Chains A and B, each alone.
Chain A
Amino acid sequence: MKLIQVSNCYKVYKNGTTALADLNVTIDKGEFVFVIGSTGSGKSTFIKTLYREEKPTKGSVIVGGINVAKLRNSKVYKLRRKIGVVFQDFKLLPKLTVYENIAFALESLGMESKAIRPQVLKAIEKVGLKEKARNFPNQLSGGEQQRVAIARAIVNNPKLLICDEPTGNLDPDTSKEIMKILENINQELGTTIIMATHDKDIVNRMKKRVLVIENGVLAGDYLKGSYKAHESIKNS
């Protein structure tokens, strides 16, 4: 079953830069997909259109039944509730504890306090941070902070988890840990995961579907395991 369908998608920025040109991609429910491409290839723009941080200039981007291209600014939240997003820089609130950072997501959706607690604890357990629930972000390592961000992204049981270079700031060992957690989420919860990355080791090791974006077009779509590090990807 299709979760994401991108058809004839164009994105031209105000300064005239064409980031996406006639992009066509289909992603099924439950898939784990890497998106790779060199800097300025349009990879980030593609990821951003999926959660409507950028609006496509032309074409359609349908995510979980919502046409992102036609989504009004005031309705973006409806899409975001179905999606979890993880970034390279974690984006945690420094004045809230781990627990509060995760609960914050549910609170702002207007969920009942009673229902919030078990759901947050479950997410914390999933990323293995049970012991650090009361710590503040600055008391955690980079890997731990990223795990908090992942917990926040999955606490609402989204169908889709978008990761924009989640291992970009982490050392190889920590990156491995994070990837293990993501794989676990993909397999146990059935969450579709789309991950943009520069890290060819991870891509080679995980043997997942790989989308290569170059100059705003889909330069390659490799099925599970058929991809081997490409010349065009520069190691970060």
Chain B
Amino acid sequence: MKALRILSRSIRDSFKSVGRNFSLSIAAITCSTITLILVAISIILTYNVQEITLSLERELTVVAYVKKDSEDANIRTIKKELDQIPEIDKYVFKSKEEWKAEMKNESETLNTTLDYLEENPLLDSFIITVKNVNDLKGVTEKVRSYEFISSAEYGEGMVENLVGAFDIISKGTMVIVIALILVTAFLISNTIKLTIFSRKNEIEIMRLVGTSNTAIRLPFIFEGFILGILGSIIPILVTIYGYIILYDKLGGHIISNIITLVQPFNFIFFVALILLGVGCIVGMFGSYRAVRKYLKI
């Protein structure tokens, strides 16, 4: 009962003091608004970059050519062997006729050349997709060793560079997001510290009359929570409307159709939730840290 009274008074007092210390509250809210907008932008960027790299990685395949004049039985053997490699996500058999048709479509010169040849010079092949892009090399080597396979390619060199670059980009953006969240935490908690500094008399008097440390902290922690919520309103609106408008304007793609943006729905709500969470937690933590300083002798 007593704890409940202390709790309800803390909540009441926290609302009161947000209003009473209006200019400092505004400072804290503005500060969190600006930093949270930066956080939102970087989360959206990171998430999109990661989605793009994942989708590009999915496009990477191994092409294994079957030896010339292989019989159907041989191809079945290869299929069985491929079924046994756990790293393979899926594979598609592409016959030499399909290749021929595709190449004839591609250019006029190829068309006439292929028509001129009596026999189809191309090879039957398997197009293999792996589950993890790092397994490309291993799978290629394994497939190469098969009896009825003449060669297997995955774009050596280029693929490694590409995967390496993706890795750096996604790790780099993650670092930026984490750094930004830390900077936000620091900025917001410092601003709250300023607001509490101006009220250290209040804390001193509370201590003097025998208020427990928890009861002193509570209203300040609630205040931090309220400031966190108020500070995340604008960033959340900016994120939701900004991303929807951006997505519509770009038609969901950047540069070409290969690079697609993350669908706005659910994703932006997820980002909004993160912003709200970061705002509240940082606000509460900032207050906690700031008050602690005045609770020591």
Chain A residues with CB under 8 Å of chain B are: 51-55, 73-74, 76-83, 85, 91-93, 95, 104-105, 107-112, 152, 156
Q: How far is the CB of B288 from chain A (nearest CB, A)?
A: 14
Is the CB–CB distance between A104 and B209 below 8 Å? yes
Partner of B212, one of A55, A77, A93: A77
Name which of B2-10, B80-88, B103-111, B275-283 contacts chain A.
B2-10
Pick the contact of B207 from A80, A95, A112 — CB < 8 Å?
A80
A114 to chain B minimum Cβ distance, whole angstroms, is 11
| Chain A contact residues, majority secondary structure | loop
Contacts of A80 in B (CB 8 A): 207-210
On whether the beta carbons of B296 and A109 are closer than 8 Å, the reply is no
Chain B interface category by residue count: 20 to 34
Task: State in angstroms the CA–CA spacing of A182 and B296 once bound together.
Answer: 31
Across the interface, which residues of B come within 8 angstroms of A112, CB to CB?
5
Q: Which residues of B contact A (CB under 8 A)?
A: 2-3, 5-6, 9, 20, 201-202, 204-213, 215-216, 295-297
6 tightest CB-CB pairs across the interface, nearest first?
A81-B210, A80-B210, A105-B209, A108-B211, A110-B2, A110-B6
Asked if A91 and B210 make an inter-chain contact with CB atoms under 8 angstroms apart, the answer reads no
Q: Which residues of A contact B208 (CB under 8 A)?
A: 51, 80, 85, 91
- A77 and B210 alpha carbons, distance in the complex (Å): 4
Pull 10 A–B residue pairs with CB atoms less than 8 Å apart, ordered by A.
Answer: A54-B297, A73-B295, A91-B201, A91-B204, A104-B209, A108-B6, A108-B206, A108-B216, A110-B3, A152-B209
State how many angstroms separate the Cβ of A199 from the closest Cβ of chain B: 23
Q: Find chain A residues with CB under 8 A from B295 CB.
A: 73
By a CB distance below 8 angstroms, the chain B residues around A91 are 201, 204-205, 208
* CA A73 to CA B209, docked complex, whole Å: 15
Q: B213 to A74, Cβ gap below 8 A?
A: yes
- Cα-based distance from A77 to B215 in the complex (angstroms): 10
CB distance from A81 to the nearest CB of B (A): 4
A156–B210 Cα distance when bound, in Å, is 10
Interface centre among B207, B209, B296 (most CB of A within 10 A): B209
Chain A residues, CB < 8 A from B9? 107-108, 110
> What's the least CB distance linking B110 to chain A, in Å?
83
Interface residue from B2, B6, B20, B207 paired with A76 (Cβ < 8 Å): B207
Within 8 Å CB of A53, what residues of B?
Answer: 297
Flag if B209 contacts A108 (CB, 8 Å).
Answer: yes
15 further interface pairs, Cβ-Cβ under 8 Å (given A81-B210, A104-B205): A54-B297, A73-B295, A73-B296, A74-B213, A77-B210, A80-B209, A104-B209, A105-B209, A108-B9, A108-B211, A108-B215, A110-B2, A110-B6, A152-B209, A156-B209
In the assembled complex, how far is the CB of residue B128 from the closest CB belonging to chain A, in whole angstroms? 65
* C-alpha spacing A54/B127, complex, angstroms: 79
* Residue of B20, B204, B215 most packed against chain A (CB within 10 A): B215
Give the residue of B5, B6, B211 whose beta carbon is less than 8 angstroms from that of A77: B211
Least distance between A107 CB and chain B CB atoms (Å):
6
Contacts of A76 in B (CB 8 A): 207, 297
